[in-house]
C-alpha cells in the first residue's frame, strides 16, 4: 500500500511525525512525503524534520513558483450540490491563467473579482478534438453493427449521481425513454455502474425498447452521436458536442454550466419529469428544431490560442 502524506506547515509536521514513525514498523506500507512549502524557514521546517525524525520529503514544493492554469475556466451551474461546481470555483480562485471556452465563463470570473489580466477567452478544446477527428469518425461501422440508420434513432447517456443514484429519478427517466423507444430506436451506451443502478432499481427489464450497449470508443460514439435524430444526456461535454454537430439535445438536468449551448445551440434543459422530456421530444419529432449557431471561437483552434498565451509570458 502506498500512502502520500501532504504537509507544509508547523502543525502538520507535528502531526505527521508519529504517523511516519509508526509506518516504519509496517513494511507493507510505502510512505511518500510531499512538502508544499507553506513554512520553509529553517526554524519552522527543516529543524522540525531533524528534531522529530521525519524523513526528508520525496517532493519539496517550497519556493518553486509553479503556475496553475485552468482550461475551461469560469463555467458555473450555480448548483453547489454538484461536486464539479465546488471544484471549478476552488480551482479558478487559485489559478494564475484562466482559459474560458465561452463568454459566460469570462462574465462569471469578472463577477467573482478575478483580475482581468488572468482571464483569456480562447474557445473550446473539446471542439478542437471533435473537428480534428470528425472525418475519421465517419468511417466507423457502428451504425450497421447496431442495426440503426442515420437520423432515425436517439442516443442516451446518463452518469450524474443525482440521476443514476436515485431510484425514483432513474425510474422517471426510463419511463420517458421507454415511450421514446416505442417510437424510434433508443441506443444507450451504458457505464457498468449505471447498469448496476438500473438493476438495483428494478428498472432495466421493464423497458425493452431501449438498446443497452457497452461503452463505445471516441470515434464510434462520435459517429453514433453525429448521425442521431436527437441526444438525451446529463453530460456537459455532450451538450457542447451536439451544439457543433447541430444535433438536437435534451439535457436531463435543471441547470447547465454551458449556457451557450442553450442560447446559441439546439440544447434544451428538460429536467427529469417524463412529461417535460416527452413534450420536448415530440416537438423535435415534429420538426420543431431551433436553428443553431456556432458559439464564438469554437473553430478548432482553441489549443493554439492557449499555447500562444503561454508562450507570450
Question: What is the CATH number for 223?
Answer: 3.40.50.2000
Q: pLDDT class for 9, splitting at 50, 70, 90?
A: confident
Instruction: Specify whether 145 is located in the same domain as 208.
Output: yes
Instruction: Specify whether 136 is located in the same domain as 43.
Output: no
Instruction: Specify whether 134 is located in the same domain as 8.
Output: no
Average pLDDT over residues 176-199: 92
> Would residue 293 count as lying in a domain?
no
Angle, helices 218-226 vs 125-137, to 10°: value is 80
> Would residue 11 count as lying in a domain?
yes
Instruction: Specify whether 280 is located in the same domain as 193.
Output: yes
Instruction: Specify whether 10 is located in the same domain as 102.
Output: no
Instruction: Specify whether 190 is located in the same domain as 207.
Output: yes
The range of the structural domain enclosing residue 154 comes to 128-285
Cell readout for 70 is 485552468
Q: What is the pTM of this model?
A: 0.84
> Would residue 291 count as lying in a domain?
no
Q: What value does the mean pLDDT of the chain take?
A: 91
> Would residue 294 count as lying in a domain?
no
Instruction: Specify whether 139 is located in the same domain as 256.
Output: yes
Please choose, from the candidates 285, 298, 198, the residue with its C-alpha nearest in 3D space to the C-alpha of residue 239. 298
- Rounded Cα distance, 112 and 107, in Å: 9
Per-residue model confidence as pLDDT tens digits over 33-43: 898 877 565 55
Per-residue model confidence as pLDDT tens digits over 46-66: 777 787 788 888 888 886 677
8 Å CB contact between 189 and 215: yes
Instruction: Specify whether 46 is located in the same domain as 183.
Output: no
Instruction: Specify whether 112 is located in the same domain as 197.
Output: no
The residues facing 4 across adjacent strands are 32
Cell readout for 139 is 468511417
> In 190-245, which ranges are E strands?
210-213, 230-233
- Rounded Cα distance, 210 and 185, in Å: 7
> Would residue 295 count as lying in a domain?
no
8 Å CB contact between 124 and 102: yes
- Rounded Cα distance, 274 and 290, in Å: 21
Instruction: Specify whether 140 is located in the same domain as 253.
Output: yes
Instruction: Specify whether 234 is located in the same domain as 183.
Output: yes
Helices (H), 112-217: 125-137, 142-146, 161-164, 167-181, 192-201
Helix, strand, or coil here: 122? coil
- Rounded Cα distance, 292 and 230, in Å: 14
> Would residue 292 count as lying in a domain?
no
Q: Which residues are catalytic?
A: 159
What is the count of structural domains for the chain?
3
- Please provide the size of the chain in residues: 313
Q: What pLDDT sits at residue 53? A: 82
Average pLDDT over residues 142-166: 95
Amino acid at each position: 500500500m502506498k500512502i502520500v502524506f501532504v504537509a507544509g506547515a508547523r502543525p502538520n509536521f507535528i502531526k505527521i511525525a508519529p504517523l511516519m514513525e509508526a509506518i516504519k514498523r509496517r513494511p507493507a506500507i510505502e510512505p511518500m512525503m510531499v512538502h508544499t512549502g507553506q513554512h520553509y524557514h529553517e526554524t519552522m521546517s527543516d529543524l522540525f524534520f531533524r528534531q522529530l525524525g521525519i524523513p526528508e520529503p520525496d517532493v519539496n514544493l517550497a519556493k518553486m513558483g509553479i503556475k496553475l492554469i485552468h482550461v475551461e475556466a469560469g463555467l458555473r451551474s450555480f448548483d453547489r450540490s454538484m461536486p464539479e461546481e465546488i471544484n471549478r470555483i476552488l480551482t479558478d480562485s487559485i489559478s494564475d491563467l484562466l482559459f474560458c471556452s465561452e463568454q459566460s465563463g469570462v462574465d462569471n470570473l469578472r463577477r467573482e473579482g478575478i483580475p482581468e489580466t488572468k482571464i483569456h477567452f480562447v474557445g473550446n478544446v473539446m471542439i478542437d478534438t471533435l473537428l480534428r477527428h470528425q472525418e475519421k469518425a465517419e468511417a466507423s461501422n457502428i451504425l450497421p453493427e447496431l442495426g440503426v440508420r442515420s437520423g432515425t434513432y436517439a442516443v442516451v447517456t446518463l452518469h450524474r449521481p443525482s440521476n443514476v443514484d436515485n431510484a425514483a429519478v432513474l425510474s422517471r427517466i426510463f419511463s420517458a425513454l421507454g415511450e421514446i423507444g416505442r417510437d424510434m430506436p433508443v441506443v444507450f451506451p451504458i457505464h457498468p455502474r449505471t447498469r448496476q443502478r438500473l438493476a438495483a432499481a428494478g428498472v432495466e427489464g421493464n423497458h425493452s425498447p431501449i438498446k443497452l450497449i457497452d461503452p463505445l470508443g471516441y470515434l464510434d460514439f462520435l459517429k453514433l452521436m453525429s448521425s442521431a435524430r436527437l441526444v438525451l444526456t446529463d453530460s456537459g461535454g455532450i451538450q457542447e458536442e451536439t451544439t457543433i454537430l447541430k444535433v438536437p439535445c435534451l439535457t436531463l438536468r435543471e441547470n447547465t454550466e454551458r449556457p451557450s449551448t442553450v442560447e446559441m445551440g439546439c440544447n434544451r434543459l428538460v429536467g427529469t419529469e417524463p412529461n417535460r422530456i416527452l413534450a420536448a421530444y415530440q416537438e423535435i419529432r415534429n420538426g420543431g428544431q431551433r436553428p443553431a449557431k456556432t458559439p464564438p471561437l469554437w473553430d478548432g483552434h482553441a489549443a493554439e490560442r492557449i499555447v500562444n498565451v503561454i508562450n507570450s509570458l
